[in-house]
Amino acid sequence: MTRQSAIARRAEQLLGAAVVSTAPVAGGDINTATRLRLSDGRNVLLKSQPSPPPGFFPAEAHGLRTLAAAGAPVPAVLAVDEDCLVLPWLEPGKVIVEMAEQLGRALAALHAVEEPAFGADQDGFIGRLPLPNAPAPTWAEFYATRRLEPYLRLGVDRGRIDPDDAGTIEELFPRLGSLVPEEPPALLHGDLWNGNVLWGLDHTAYLLDPAVHAGHRETDLAMLSLFGLPQLPRVLAAYSEVTPLADGWEDRVGIHQLFPLLVHACMFGGGYAARAARIADDLT
């Protein structure tokens, strides 16, 4: 590893330890990730952006600390400021069945943490996009007004969602409460796709990059299946052993996937919005 002077100096300011060497880490569309070796022998990960949205890294740190307090497997927050976040370096390893089962049980325990209302006490981010979290009394209202509507509007404004597709999805709003069984607000990771699960060399499956809020627990599980998670059947089986899911949850996966599909449409365009419209059309 070489030494990137600016990043090394920033880490030294935050950690109070000298940086011996640095190395860029591949992957990730949003942040620049750098691995640093410290003079005290530790390896850490520094995530940064040239001009992050205000509160971006503090929001991620808040989410990680919230999940940690609930007992979820997450990296500790070593330091955070407006321009960066420093975490322990987690060495990736192979996916094994025991880790998948551990992840399922950990998610069940996380979702057992009941919250006072759907939403959160502060807004957050999904990717670089703002994530509204103002509380709502029901999941259906929260999902329609805080998760679907803002990104439909943004996607149409950006020319990435066809107005007709947006209209098809909006027609589903009045029916959300009857389509998804009512459950108490559960503490969620909030952005739980495959890329935000790190299978550690220490045989722990870590949760990364959260968008923490209180929501319907089926949402996290539907997100895991959207882009494919290794050993997902084992994860779900272990989850259900701790806390069984309501009957028919498999038929509701598409409803919960509407939100990440619309977020991807806003960020990348492509066929994500049309896919969401097809899901909505099948349900109306």
- Given this model, what pLDDT does residue 3 score? 55
Where exactly does CATH 3.90.1200.10 map onto the chain?
97-283
Which residue type does 240 have?
A: S
Where exactly does CATH 3.30.200.20 map onto the chain?
5-88
- Given this model, what pLDDT does residue 260 score? 98
- Given this model, what pLDDT does residue 2 score? 57
Which of the following is catalytic: 81, 164, 191, 247?
Answer: 191
191 catalytic? Reply is yes
For the beta carbon of residue 4, count every other beta carbon within 10 angstroms. 18
Query: 């020319």: which residue's tokens?
Result: 159
3-state helix, strand, coil in the chain (%, to 5): 45, 20, 35
Angle 263-266-272 (CA atoms, 0-180°, nearest 5)? 70
Residues 199-237 pLDDT 10s: 999 999 999 999 999 999 999 999 999 989 999 999 999
Parallel/antiparallel/unpaired status of strands 213-215 and 205-207? unpaired
Cα dihedral value 185, 118, 282, 164, nearest 10: -170
HSE, side-chain direction, 13 A CA sphere, residue 34:
27
Residues 262-281 pLDDT 10s: 999 999 999 999 999 999 99
CATH of span 5-88: 3.30.200.20
Which pair of tokens denotes residue 192?
């739980």
Residues 229-238 pLDDT 10s: 999 999 999 9
In this structure, are residues 147 and 261 in contact, taking their beta carbons and an 8 Å threshold? no
In this structure, are residues 224 and 235 in contact, taking their beta carbons and an 8 Å threshold? yes
Can you name the CATH fold of 97-283? Aminoglycoside 3'-phosphotransferase; Chain: A, domain 2 (3.90.1200)
Residues 11-66 pLDDT 10s: 999 999 999 999 999 877 789 999 999 999 999 999 999 899 999 999 999 999 99
Buried b (16+ CB within 10 A) or exposed e, 98-107: ebbbbbbebb
